[in-house]
Amino acid sequence: MAIWYLNMLQEDEKRMKDFDQKYHDYWQSNRRAEVYKSVQGHWGVRFFEDKMWVTDEIYKGHSEVYAESAAENYVLGIKNVR
């Protein structure tokens, strides 16, 4: 169990290095989405459900508004990421 937890923490640390700065939070019910700008200058969204990280999406060549729309659609139940 301890090795699994250590691996999970290391993976989470790697994911956090992809994003530089958080810009927006969206939430409704049990879903939350955070809009970030990556260190390479691309916009992306980190998705959560029931307070657990689900996945990250990076939108190369798209705008901040595009990422905000994806985040909003997710928390409203329009977009699913699983």
For the stretch 28-81, pLDDT in tens is 999 999 999 988 899 999 999 999 999 999 999 999 999 999 999 999 999 999
- Rounded to a whole number of angstroms, the distance between the first and last alpha carbons of the chain is 25
Q: Which pTM was predicted?
A: 0.77
19-28: strand order across its sheet: 19-28, 31-38, 43-49, 52-59
Q: Sorting pLDDT into bands at 50, 70 and 90, what band is 9?
A: very low
The neighbour count for residue 18, using CB atoms within 10 Å, is: 15
Q: Which residues pair with 36 in a beta bridge?
A: 22, 44
